[in-house]
Amino acid sequence: MNSAGTRGSTSAWSTAAVIVAIVVSGTVVAGFLNDPQSDAIAAPGCDEVVQPEDMQRINYAFVEDKRYADPTYGWFSETKATTMSDALLAALPNNVVVLPYSMFEPLRFVPFGSETTATGTISIDGAESELVVVVQQTDEPAGPYFAGYVDERRTLADGTVIDISEGENGGRARAHTSDGSLIDVSATGALTVEQLADIAATPGLRTR
């Protein structure tokens, strides 16, 4: 992983627009990368498959919370944020350049309610990509595979389940770890889904 001090003006303005929108509204709405497919679908590693006709589109919103010491979410603190941010940077491939922001430190975990999020723009051989990592603690199991939204499910030796998906706008890897962490890693190109899965499996990103 490398860092850079210069950026193209177009990218800078587009990034600033996104960040300003988040800061002003305090709300981020997230969906899925792919539209559901119409045919019955099976996927590697999935025992239970929910077909597209059985689902409704899922969206969620969360509001920025700048407090690090929230007793409701005692697993997270400013020290934990630093540890997780360092682990994320170390997990990036060696040829990744992290591009600077003028408004905040890129890929630094900050609290958003029950979650912590790190965002930033990266570059690989001149190709830029927005990288977003969202982490939260959960007691819920991984649940069924959702057909049309997940391309593959992998189960690691320690019981961690990773769902992988890839669409026209990028890829996503969502790790449901054996110790109760939910780690969602997405990028708009540049990184492969294999690289996203490796990041999602990084032990230093876990809540415990």
Nearest alpha carbon to residue 179 among 161, 163, 196: 161
The pTM score is 0.69
**Residues paired with residue 29 on neighbouring β-strands, in sequence order:** 61
pLDDT recorded at residue 145: 76
The parent domain of residue 192 ranges over 2-205
Nearest alpha carbon to residue 84 among 64, 68, 103, 63: 68
pLDDT digits (tens, 9 = 90+) for 121-164: 999 999 999 999 999 999 888 888 777 788 999 999 999 999 99
pLDDT digits (tens, 9 = 90+) for 69-108: 666 666 788 889 999 999 999 999 999 999 998 788 999 9
pLDDT recorded at residue 100: 92
β-pairing, 2-3 vs 181-187, is unpaired
pLDDT digits (tens, 9 = 90+) for 175-197: 999 999 999 999 998 899 999 99
* Number of separate domains in the chain: 1
Cβ contact 58:31 at 8 Å: yes
